[in-house]
Amino acid sequence: MNIIVCMKQVVDLEQIRIKTQTREPVMEGLPVMFGDFDKCALEEAVRLKEEHGGKVTAVAAGSAKLKDTIKEALAIGADEAIILTDEAYQGSDTMGSARLLAQVIQKIGDYDLILMGDGSADDYSGEVPPRVAEILDLPQAGFAREIKVVDDALHVTRDLEAAHETIALELPALVSVSTEINTPPLPALTDILKAGRKPLHTWAPDEVGVPDKAGLDPAQIGTNASVVEVLSNLAPVQDRKEIIFEDVEEGLAEITKALESEGVLEQ
């Protein structure tokens, strides 16, 4: 089973500071990484490959730092990786990202399954998997917490609001996974060393594109193709008292008093 896993390089959310005056997030100089959803998708691909044979190709778009970040994907177990770091791809909205990934997938061509995370760690819009599935005209299933191959079909157990639903999909298909599907182990040192010797390709815009079309249409991807206009992006105002007691005795006495006076405890 040949599997393509799409991953997104994101900034470390835990390290985003909020400017006190303006409530704006400070996005500069943050470390980059792959989100948990993406690593779970990759781990699942590796597991399926070990069971059924085939090949796992990781595809990721992001800044130039991706050359380093992608090594983690190769260490987790991707056989090969294609990274998309060209300036022309930057600033893409979900539509541009989906078009780019779909073009790359079509160029790779030989696949049975596409795996992704349910959402990126940073935006979690969940838009990219259904959009890519639509461009490639594939059946899809999201919120997967279990994937099994049964005869020629893929059985996907979906974690919905009030039910676990198992559906059988004809392949090829696109599946996005939740973080409960597995626990990606930290790569062993030998895997990290091996990762450096695995094939890693950087595809420029003229290399991306389905075989019968020349490269990429710049009007379809990147900042200029974005249809989303962000009017503001600010942290909500949080006005908490932050009265913290390190002495348990004192804390219990003061807090029960305070809760009574705030009217949340009956006196």
Site for other proteins in 91-130 (CB under 8 A): 94-95, 98, 121-130
152 binds other proteins (CB under 8 A): no
C-alpha to C-alpha distance for 100 and 110, rounded to whole angstroms? 17
Q: Does 219 bind other proteins (CB under 8 A)?
A: no
Of the pair 81, 136, the CB lying nearest other proteins is at 136
What contacts 56, CB < 8 A, 6 or more positions away?
Answer: 3, 4, 5, 42, 45, 46, 49, 77, 78, 79, 80
Stretch that binds other proteins, among 61-69, 72-80, 152-160, 202-210 (CB under 8 A): 152-160
User: Within positions 28 to 57, which residues make up the interface with other proteins, using CB under 8 A?
Assistant: none
Binding mask 58-97 for other proteins (x = CB under 8 A): ------------------------------------xx--
User: DSSP state, 87?
Assistant: G
250: left (phi over 0), alpha (psi -120 to 50) or beta: alpha
Pairing of strands 140-150, 153-159: antiparallel
- Of residues 230-249, which lie at the interface with other proteins (CB under 8 A)? 230-236, 238, 240-246, 248
What are phi and psi for residue 92, nearest 5 degrees? -65, 140
**Around Cβ 235, how many Cβ atoms within 10 Å?**
14
Q: By C-beta, is 189 or 244 nearer to other proteins?
A: 244
Judged by CB under 8 A, the residue of 134, 201, 206, 218 near other proteins is 134
- CB contact at 8 A, 16 and 25: yes
Q: Which is nearer to other proteins, 63 or 202 (CB)?
A: 63
> Under the criterion CB under 8 A, does residue 164 sit at the interface with other proteins?
yes
Q: Given the complex with other proteins, which of 79 and 123 has the nearer CB atom?
A: 123
Rounded to whole angstroms, how far apart are CA atoms 127 and 29? 27
Residue closer to other proteins by CB (options 66, 133) is 133
